[in-house]
Amino acid sequence: MATHAEGTKSGSHRGGGVTPAPLRDPDTVMRLPRLGAMHPSRLSFLRNLIRRMGREQWRIGCPRFDVGTDECGEAVYTVDTPQGRYSFVVFAQLIPEAARTDRVIAERWDYTFALTEGEPDAAHMARLRANVPRQEAGRVTSRELVLARGNKSVRLFDHMVAQLAAGRQPAIAEVTEVGYLMRTTAVYGNGKFGLADYARLRDGTPFHRPFAAQMLAVYLARLFSLDLVDHLAWRHGGSAATRLSAPLRRAVGVGNATGLGMAPFIVSHPELMHAWVNARETAIARVKGVPRAQRPRVRHFRALLERAIAHADQWWTADAAQHAAICALRRELREIAGSLFPARGADPLAGAYPWRAFAERVMRGGFSLETQELMHSLILEPYPDLADDLADTMAADETARVHAAEPLRAVIARIESGYAWALRIDPDDPAEAHYFWYRAVEKEEPRLGTRHGDPGAAREMPIGVGHAVARLHRELAALSAAELARPVGEFLMHRPEHRALIARIQTLSAKPYAEVRDNLLHRDMRPVDLLRFKLAFFGAVRFDPKSDRWTRITLFSGAPLPADFADPRIDCDDSFAPTWPATP
Amino acid sequence: MAGDAVTRVSLNELRVRYTRALQGIGLPAGTAADAAAIAQWHDIVGLDGARRLLDALPRLGETATAPPALSRQPDGWRLDAAGASLFALGGVLVDTLEMAASAGVPAVILAEARDVAVLGGCADLAAARGLAADLRCADAAGTLTAASDGARVWWALRRGPADPDVPANSVVARTARPAAEPGADAGPCRRDPGTIARHRAAALDRGVPVADAEWRRIVALAELCLVEDRETGIGRS
């Protein structure tokens, strides 16, 4: 069921008479395997942030960097924006290897961070020093926007310091095997532990777009990791030391370990999910509505397709399933490049509505989900004029509410139109309720249990929306016509356990991209697919699943350095499908 | 709370902890969310939401077994709460107002309820739905009123003799926009939309102060939702 892009409601989009194509069917887009193959795009949050930093010429300084050769100490970075100054405060300590874990239940970390308003004075630093290294066990204030932590990637970090101290660049092979010097293991915002509420950031700050503050914190964590290796190299090597080369500084990103903690967010914020996906799909629909592809844009597309091939060639994981997917991606990208840009013969992109034809070929031509979604991200790259404004549509208020006067039969109608996907679920099939989601006592970490094997099902989190809708539909369908004519409010007086779900159905049935259209309790469900969906919107690359429940990824690989923003020779928004330099 | 040590809590923390605490004592998710919103509203405007919620706890766990009874008359509907707390029935009250408005019925009485003094949070729930409402209850000091014009909220305590039209342990609700600024004569015991907006801005700017002892109780109740286990969460390779 295709729907028209929002752009059509206000007529043709600006720029060359573009009439957006219909949006892709949510029954196609919102299936878990496809979400688990999603790739970043120019609408990813880190790209949105980078563009803003460049457009507004944010200035990043480092008034304090006090880290000793024991890798312990503090640093402060400042960021000057048109809305004011922010500071990124780092506390560094070297923890024993045995204490170093990516799990959210960790108690110690090599680095802890806070992004705060203004520049901290001595009293503010003292308060941060007493609380930030304790993370969840401490308290911060609404002056702090982000609380985060990370651990160093020991092998690469130590190799890099040793090489730089000796006046040499690190071996490319060592760098590319890991890709980052530090891995963040949690980046908190939105009011947790006393942090500023997101609502506070929506007016008068540069962080009104989703996760903008968190992305800035991660960008600065990356910068710190790069500065730290240079600093330690100098401390160890003195005048013999050299700095990490600019190409490598840009290529190195920040790692992140993401587990199930991210999954409930996707279900708890459906209107936000709809806003994110709708923005991407609308951008895709606009590009598909381009009547003729201009040659410079085709050249840009071709250059990025070649880069995507190199990116895929450099993408490595030990996970067998993901490795197979990457191998297929490599093969298919070459096939696509060969067919789009043959040495002789027809030019497939020279015809009418070339991107629509290309997208349809990719969707129907037997290509893997990885290839399909990478190509849908790639076609956006040559068209910033059609995509980038949609970044301002990616925030959303969560407004789920009961429509009490609506007759109960209207709820059935909403389910059968907006939640028809849930009616594929058989509530009596044990496989369909194999899992339950819960929060563990240990740091309230979200976990997955098996219903008839693990304790805790009585405290199940309401993640299995599809399964719950299927059960509700069955219950409502058994009611008489007279009962179904009565208002929802009366039903809920006697059945309060359905209140949240009916509010959700009544609110979201008109938001087609709000729900993951698969059963999140099913035996065959892969939680890592949920994680990748959200991480792709962050801008993460090089997914490296470590199990079906957690993955490592890299952020800001290929992103500009602070000095790049003022250099007119550098395109700061050119980090799609980042690749490693051939030489340092 | 004067003299108590306080924790400054973000609005997100308030909402999440309240909701989990209420689910922890057995309220269904949707009821818990509405009750949390009611409590949070009182915290925001400086009316001790945490304390009110904790005081109501003994009653809240009883609510699930006693559904309210609705009886309809042309001039008004009566919702018998059977002693349940308005924290747990706030969403139901607003639902009933919405149904009554849709049916052209001017008034709803929620009778035999407890914790009726949190009707300000109910007016806020009504405003979030775009619903106009005028709510009143008897208070030891006089008459509490809260009103919504479908977008903004007013709250006031009119000190003096109780309003004879407002029975004890009841909320008298009208499905109409306030005729004039509600509670304009209530003096300092009043929150108008401008004041509420300033309170909300201050709450966002500095967090909401909650007495440490109260916050610890809330957090402890929220932990009832957690599961003690030995599962590692790492998953299958």
What pLDDT is recorded for position B230? 65
Tokens of A557: 């690989």
The verdict on A196 touching B (C-beta cutoff 8 Å) is: yes
Shortest CA distance from B227: residue in chain A: A440
| Helix or strand holding residue B153 (H, E) | strand B153-159
Integer Cα distance of A379 and A388 in angstroms? 13
How is A306-358 classified by DSSP, letter by letter?
HHHHHHHHT---S-HHHHHHHHHHHHHHHHHHHHHS-SSS--GGGSSSHHHHH
Judged by CB atoms closer than 8 Å, whether chains meet at B235 and A198 is answered as no
The verdict on A503 touching B (C-beta cutoff 8 Å) is: yes
Give B126's contacts in chain A (Cβ within 8 Å).
none
Alpha-carbon distance A462 to nearest alpha carbon in chain B (angstroms)? 8
Give B105's contacts in chain A (Cβ within 8 Å).
none
Kindly report the number of other CB atoms within 10 A of residue B14's CB atom: 27
Tokens of A365: 């031509």
Q: What is the dihedral of CA A252, A253, A259, A261, to 10 degrees?
A: 160
The verdict on A395 touching B (C-beta cutoff 8 Å) is: no
In the predicted structure, residue A564 carries a pLDDT above the cut 90: yes
Give A383-442 pLDDT, tens digit per residue: 999 999 999 999 998 889 999 999 999 999 999 999 999 999 999 999 999 999 999 998
Tokens of A381: 């790259």
What pLDDT is recorded for position B62? 65
Find, among A20, A14, A573, the residue nearest to A300 by Cα.
A573
Give A281-334 pLDDT, tens digit per residue: 999 999 999 999 999 999 999 999 999 999 999 999 999 999 999 999 999 999
Judged by CB atoms closer than 8 Å, whether chains meet at A404 and B68 is answered as no
Give A63-111 pLDDT, tens digit per residue: 999 999 999 999 999 999 999 999 999 999 989 888 888 887 788 999 9
User: Are A190 and A266 a contacting pair, CB within 8 Å?
Assistant: no
Half-sphere exposure of A502 (CA within 13 A, CB side): 31
Alpha-carbon distance B104 to nearest alpha carbon in chain A (angstroms)? 12
List, in order, residues 6 or more apart from A458 with CB less than 8 Å away: none
Alpha-carbon distance B187 to nearest alpha carbon in chain A (angstroms)? 30
Integer Cα distance of A32 and B54 in angstroms? 41
Find, among B201, B212, B223, B187, the residue nearest to B21 by Cα.
B223
Higher pLDDT, residue B188 or A428: A428
Give A468-489 pLDDT, tens digit per residue: 999 999 999 999 999 999 999 9
Give me the residue from B8, B67, B98 closest to A404, CB to CB.
B98
Q: What is the mean pLDDT of residues B211-230?
A: 92
Q: What is the mean pLDDT of residues A531-551?
A: 96
What pLDDT is recorded for position B63? 52
User: Are B179 and B145 a contacting pair, CB within 8 Å?
Assistant: no
User: Are B60 and B87 a contacting pair, CB within 8 Å?
Assistant: yes
Which residue type occupies B151?
A
Looking at A16-25, A250-259, A286-295, which range is the least confident one?
A16-25
Integer Cα distance of B234 and B219 in angstroms? 26
Confidence tier at B66 by pLDDT (50, 70, 90): low
Alpha helices in B156-211 (DSSP H): 193-206
Alpha-carbon distance A413 to nearest alpha carbon in chain B (angstroms)? 20
Q: What share of chain B is helix, strand, coil (3-state, %, to 5)?
A: 45, 25, 35
Integer Cα distance of A427 and A275 in angstroms? 30
Shortest CA distance from B33: residue in chain A: A500
Confidence tier at A9 by pLDDT (50, 70, 90): very low
Each residue of B77-112: b (16+ CB within 10 Å) or e? bbbbbbebbbbbbbbbbbbbbbbbbeeebebbbbbb
What pLDDT is recorded for position A431? 97
Integer Cα distance of A20 and A258 in angstroms? 35
Number of helices and strands in chain B (H, E): 7, 11
Shortest CA distance from A544: residue in chain B: B237
Integer Cα distance of B146 and A225 in angstroms? 54
Mean pLDDT, chain B, whole residue set:
90
What pLDDT is recorded for position A12? 40
Separation in Å, CA A3 to CA A26, A72, A287: 9, 56, 16
What pLDDT is recorded for position A452? 87
**Which residue has 């196609």 as its token pair?**
A28
Rg of chain B in Å (alpha carbons): 18
Integer Cα distance of A507 and A418 in angstroms? 10
Give B30's contacts in chain A (Cβ within 8 Å).
402, 492, 496-503
Which residue type occupies A367?
F
Give A148-157 pLDDT, tens digit per residue: 999 999 999 9
Integer Cα distance of B13 and B208 in angstroms? 10
Q: What is the mean pLDDT of residues A499-524?
A: 97
Find, among A285, A286, A305, the residue nearest to A348 by Cα.
A305
Shortest CA distance from A259: residue in chain B: B234
The verdict on A485 touching B (C-beta cutoff 8 Å) is: no
Shortest CA distance from B228: residue in chain A: A441
Q: What is the mean pLDDT of residues A342-360?
A: 90
Separation in Å, CA A119 to CA A113, A125, A211, B73: 14, 9, 21, 64
Separation in Å, CA A367 to CA A332, A360, A465: 7, 11, 30
Testing the interface with A: which of B204, B228, B236 to mutate, by most A Cβ within 10 A?
B204
Alpha-carbon distance A501 to nearest alpha carbon in chain B (angstroms)? 8
What pLDDT is recorded for position A8? 33
The verdict on A344 touching B (C-beta cutoff 8 Å) is: no
What pLDDT is recorded for position A370? 98
In the predicted structure, residue A17 carries a pLDDT above the cut 60: yes
Separation in Å, CA A73 to CA A89, A150, A155, A238: 11, 15, 21, 19
Domain extent listing, chain A: 2-33+270-395, 47-259, 408-510
Judged by CB atoms closer than 8 Å, whether chains meet at A440 and B235 is answered as no
Mean pLDDT, chain A, whole residue set:
94
Half-sphere exposure of A25 (CA within 13 A, CB side): 8
Integer Cα distance of B4 and B213 in angstroms? 8
In the predicted structure, residue B40 carries a pLDDT above the cut 80: yes
In this prediction, what percent of chain B has a pLDDT beyond 70?
92
3-state secondary structure of B168: coil
In the predicted structure, residue A5 carries a pLDDT above the cut 70: no
| pTM of the shown model | 0.95
The verdict on A477 touching B (C-beta cutoff 8 Å) is: no
Kindly report the number of other CB atoms within 10 A of residue B193's CB atom: 16
Integer Cα distance of A206 and A222 in angstroms? 20
Confidence tier at A7 by pLDDT (50, 70, 90): very low
Judged by CB atoms closer than 8 Å, whether chains meet at B207 and A142 is answered as yes
Integer Cα distance of B228 and B214 in angstroms? 24
What pLDDT is recorded for position A1? 36
The verdict on A376 touching B (C-beta cutoff 8 Å) is: no
Give A175-184 pLDDT, tens digit per residue: 999 999 999 9
What pLDDT is recorded for position A2? 39
Alpha-carbon distance A405 to nearest alpha carbon in chain B (angstroms)? 5
| Helix or strand holding residue B23 (H, E) | helix B11-24
Give B67's contacts in chain A (Cβ within 8 Å).
493-494, 496
Give A168-220 pLDDT, tens digit per residue: 999 999 999 999 999 999 999 999 999 999 999 999 999 999 999 999 999 99
Shortest CA distance from A405: residue in chain B: B99
Find, among A10, A121, A41, A200, the residue nearest to A536 by Cα.
A41
Integer Cα distance of A63 and A87 in angstroms? 10
Give me the residue from B9, B34, B70 closest to A490, CB to CB.
B70
Q: Which of residues 119-148 of A touch B (CB under 8 A)?
A: 139, 141-142
Integer Cα distance of A114 and A133 in angstroms? 9
Alpha-carbon distance A151 to nearest alpha carbon in chain B (angstroms)? 18
Kindly report the number of other CB atoms within 10 A of residue A573's CB atom: 18
Give A489's contacts in chain B (Cβ within 8 Å).
92, 95-96, 98-99
List, in order, residues 6 or more apart from B91 with CB less than 8 Å away: A402, A499, B30, B31, B34, B35, B125
Give B138-175 pLDDT, tens digit per residue: 988 899 999 999 999 999 998 888 888 999 999 999 99
Judged by CB atoms closer than 8 Å, whether chains meet at B99 and A490 is answered as yes
Tokens of A409: 């039969």
What pLDDT is recorded for position A138? 95
